[in-house]
A and B are shown apart, each in its own frame.
Chain A
Amino acid sequence: MVCATRLTRKTDDVSTEKILLDVSHLNVHFQTPEGELQAVRDVSFSLRQGETLGVVGESGSGKSQTMLAMMGLLANNARTDGQVLFRGDNILNVPTAQLNRVRGHKLAMIFQDPMTSLNPFLTVERQMTEVLQIHQNASRGQARASVVRMLESLRIADPLRCLRSYPHQFSGGMRQRIMIAMALLSQPHVLIADEPTTALDVTVQAQIVALLRQLQEDHGTSIIMVTHDLGLVAGLSDQVMVMYGGRVMEHGLADDIFYSASHPYTSALLASIPRLEHADDELQAIPGMPPSLRNMPAGCPFAPRCGRADSDCQRPASLRLVPEGASDHQCACHHPGAKA
């Protein structure tokens, strides 16, 4: 009985491709009864074609808000400033009509809980063909044919039965695959995946990861993977951005982040997660807890928990190149380098 696919190796080098997404100094503020809270501070990164960016952070790190800001999906009381260039055009704070030409079409997003992203009252066919009918002016027949082709290319068994069914009839893994299929229908240049596998079992997660890798090989899609799972990021990403307390703590190629971590938070995080492949040493827990938006420390957000913090750290650190590090390895720390 054949029931397995092989997970392929990641081979492409993307450093020569053109830049698709260029984010500079993105800030997100929220107006609340308690005053103005800042969820994202001064975030900048760029993404090339075919590249994968892993954005790692815990709750309160601002990683999801950054993505929502780019897609224009923030709540009404949010204010953004900065610049987000998608293929050269600014998409931040532009009128909705202009944003809609890009959003869902060339810049797609999938979320953690596919159940709430899918309309429970419409069949899968309706929801998927709607995307094509709006963005590509396809007729119903054409749209249906494209959808079936897409489902087949994602190796979804029995696509016709799938189309006739409703979201609640599927398992979590299937729903996530349908979400990915929907996001891919208009062949987006960039796919943002916000914790796409957090709610899934580990064997199903492996399938979704293989699927995303397949996508990159077949279509050259760039992926932004937002997650708290360092393992997930390790396998998929070319570049990795570590966020904490709304700021970027460290940013560089995956190998640099994992093997030559410079920021105390990154090294502390790597030392505190239980790892299957490590021998059974004691975990080194990080004391304290992540800051809430209301109690953000002035200066470096990680200072209260950092072993290397001193009076310098009352001022926020800006992103600087890591001394003796790679040319694109940046760290926001007054004391980069050695272990926390």
Chain B
Amino acid sequence: MPSSTLAAEPERSPWRDAMQRFRRNKAAVTSLVFLILITLVCVIGPWLLPHAYDSTDWDALKLPPALTHSHWWGTDESGRDLLVRCLMGGRISLMVGILTTLTSIALGVVWGACAGYIGGAVDQVMMRIVDIMYAVPYLLIAILLVTVLGRDFYLVVLAITAFSWMDTARLVRGQTLSLRQMEFIEAARAMGVSTPRIVFEHIVPNLLGLVLVYATVTVPSVILTESVLSFLGLGIQEPMTSWGVLIHDGAQMLDSAAWLLIFPALMLSLTLYSFNYLGDGLRDALDPKDR
């Protein structure tokens, strides 16, 4: 009987291969590093800075940015330090972004995988619900919800989740439909594996790559949505702030204190840009062209 003569290589799971490919992509790695840094800075920074985000400094109203005084990025018209407010705003925006993405992806994956695998009438009903959700004018509903129930952080997360899970569901359903035809799924059925196990042990792990890429692209879109809501004055409540709120306020001061717009806008843009580059890098890393 012939023996398999495999050299003693370390095991190469598909994830490890992908990590190697990812590491070769300089732009993606840089983006990942930047995102980690900015998260750390936003989380730890406010404790290290001398000013609190809501403390007003009557002696330094609308101070332009300079390194000579303690307000490196300047202050706003109430004397609040812009740098610490940007970092606090970052905390909120990133938290909203990541939390909302997690819930909306989780819901979308379960919905889409079940609809795609079970098929038939169940699939039809589930996808019609998705269609109905698409038809609802989400911004108006979000405005309504927020106006009636107040501007709570978790409500903002809920409102945005409610209207961003459908894209994932559709994507996942499409992938599930094509995965369902694969022979290893047939093999699992022939073996007698139950439907829930097939969905969660075979279909979902093979989707995760795609979903991961999609998630990194969803985060910026969610942050933007939150910024839009804040820009409309419906997002986070004062004195808590987010990048959207800062941009909203800064835009009104454009002619007299442009720095109030530039700094938060710059932070938001760089973060969104990095997420997109990260997503591109992940997609290229997980795309099994070499296999």
**Contact between chain A and chain B defined by CB under 8 Å:** yes
CA distance in complex: A241, B95 (Å): 67
**CB neighbours of B5 from chain A (8 A):** 288
**CB neighbours of B2 from chain A (8 A):** 285, 287-289
The B-contacting residues of A in range 250-292, CB under 8 angstroms, are 285, 287-289
CA distance in complex: A188, B82 (Å): 78
Instruction: Indicate with 1 or 0, residue by residue over B1-40, a CB within 8 angstroms of chain A CB atoms.
Output: 1100100000000000000000000000000000000000
CA distance in complex: A288, B5 (Å): 8
Which applies to chain A's interface (DSSP): helix, strand, loop or mixed?
loop
CA distance in complex: A288, B140 (Å): 67
CA distance in complex: A205, B18 (Å): 42
Looking across the interface, which residue of chain B has its beta carbon closest to that of A34?
Answer: B290
- Say how far A305's CB is from chain B's closest CB, in angstroms: 8
CA distance in complex: A285, B1 (Å): 9
CA distance in complex: A125, B258 (Å): 67
CA distance in complex: A289, B5 (Å): 10
- Say how far B20's CB is from chain A's closest CB, in angstroms: 11
The A-contacting residues of B in range 194-249, CB under 8 angstroms, are none
**CB neighbours of B1 from chain A (8 A):** 287
CA distance in complex: A285, B2 (Å): 9
- Say how far A76's CB is from chain B's closest CB, in angstroms: 15
**CB neighbours of A287 from chain B (8 A):** 1-2
- Say how far B290's CB is from chain A's closest CB, in angstroms: 8
Instruction: Indicate with 1 or 0, residue by residue over A285-314, a CB within 8 angstroms of chain B CB atoms.
Output: 101110000000000000000000000000
- Say how far B22's CB is from chain A's closest CB, in angstroms: 15
Looking across the interface, which residue of chain A has its beta carbon closest to that of B1?
Answer: A287
- Say how far A158's CB is from chain B's closest CB, in angstroms: 35
CA distance in complex: A172, B81 (Å): 74
**CB neighbours of A289 from chain B (8 A):** 2
**CB neighbours of A285 from chain B (8 A):** 2
CA distance in complex: A289, B1 (Å): 12
**CB neighbours of A288 from chain B (8 A):** 2, 5
Looking across the interface, which residue of chain B has its beta carbon closest to that of A288?
Answer: B2
The B-contacting residues of A in range 131-167, CB under 8 angstroms, are none
CA distance in complex: A188, B124 (Å): 56
Instruction: Indicate with 1 or 0, residue by residue over A66-86, a CB within 8 angstroms of chain B CB atoms.
Output: 000000000000000000000
- Say how far B230's CB is from chain A's closest CB, in angstroms: 46
- Say how far B242's CB is from chain A's closest CB, in angstroms: 43
- Say how far A207's CB is from chain B's closest CB, in angstroms: 31
Nearest first, the 6 closest Cβ-Cβ pairs linking A and B are A287-B2, A288-B2, A288-B5, A285-B2, A289-B2, A287-B1
Taking beta carbons and an 8 Å cutoff, which residues of B are in contact with A?
A: 1-2, 5
Q: What would be 6 A-B contacts, judged by CB atoms less than 8 Å apart? A: A285-B2, A287-B1, A287-B2, A288-B2, A288-B5, A289-B2
